[in-house]
A and B are shown apart, each in its own frame.
Chain A
Amino acid sequence: SQELEQSPQSLIVQEGKNLTINCTSSKTLYGLYWYKQKYGEGLIFLMMLQKGGEEKSHEKITAKLDEKKQQSSLHITASQPSHAGIYLCGAHYNFNKFYFGSGTKLNVKP
């Protein structure tokens, strides 16, 4: 959606390397979600950020929401082949509309 821009569109990294995916909103977010999708499968909820400056971690994945609540980054430390997939950010600006970014395809080379 135009409301949410994700970058990069695709990423190939060597196993063990760190990487960052960005999600930028054209408007102030009410809540920002990160999902992971294995190719041809459904989406798995990773984490949700709501407060400006908030940061959450799950295993080797850390997500941050900036103070202005218009940009989020997803950082993977020491990437592994199991991290491969499509990462999507999602956000809602009011209770009736939820938008997704176009996704970032991640490949991790062993």
Chain B
Amino acid sequence: DGGITQSPKYLFRKEGQNVTLSCEQNLNHDAMYWYRQDPGQGLRLIYYSQIVNDFQKGDIAEGYSVSREKKESFPLTVTSAQKNPTAFYLCASSPGLQGTLYGYTFGSGTRLTVV
């Protein structure tokens, strides 16, 4: 079955460490997205990518980096510059940015905790 796989489900980061969250999709979708979810704040867009080797900053990109070397993969790195990284991170994809007419498909999320 097609879908989006996020890993790991739980991730612990020490102060000053960079960590990378994985997002893989086999839906042949062009567009991929990373969202951060904090309690009571809904979802906020971190980065999005329309095509391979191209990505754009969302509303809260500071302290994060992404790459899009393959259509299927859109990993998110939470750098040490992100001062408050503890949150639930969701990856999503859609056929295209214009394909938002068909809704997004979401992964099951990664919960990142700073220890």
Contacts and interface: CB of A to CB of B under 8 A. Distances in A.
Interface string B79-101: 00000000010101000011011
Contacts, number: 54
A26 interface: no
A1 B42 contact: yes
A contact patch SS: strand
Interface residues of B, number: 25
Interface residues of A, number: 24
B45 to A, nearest CB: 7
Interface of B: 4, 6, 35, 40-45, 88, 90, 92, 97-98, 100-109, 111
Given A1-B42, A33-B104, A42-B106, 11 more contacts: A31-B100, A35-B106, A40-B88, A41-B109, A42-B6, A42-B90, A43-B90, A43-B104, A88-B43, A95-B100, A100-B35
